[in-house]
Amino acid sequence: MDTSSLMEQVLSKNNLNAAYLQVVRNKGAAGVGGMAVDESGDYLLENGESIREQLRTRKYKP
């Protein structure tokens, strides 16, 4: 199994946007960092690419 291809599918902007919208629609709870869903949109716009790169390189810490 090509895990790098799978990771790219998971980290695709379309997939992440769909996941985010699903959480918003479900009125999801705050994550491990305590950030509320309604606060996360701006944060993700500003930091999303950095987070994706950290996930790619397995250096992401919530």
pLDDT in tens, 38-52: 889 899 999 999 999
pLDDT band at 32 (very low <50, low <70, confident <90, very high): confident
- DSSP state, residue 57: T
For residue 9, what pLDDT band results from cuts at 50, 70 and 90? very high
Q: For 11-40, what is the mean pLDDT?
A: 90
3-state secondary structure 1-62: CCHHHHHHHHCCHHHHHHHHHHHHHCCCCCCCCCCCHHHHHHHHHHHHHHHHHHHHCCCCCC
Pseudo-torsion of CA 41, 46, 51, 54, nearest 10°? -170
pLDDT-based confidence at residue 1 (cuts at 50, 70, 90): low
Across the chain, how many H-helices and E-strands are there?
Answer: 3, 0
pTM, two decimal places: 0.76
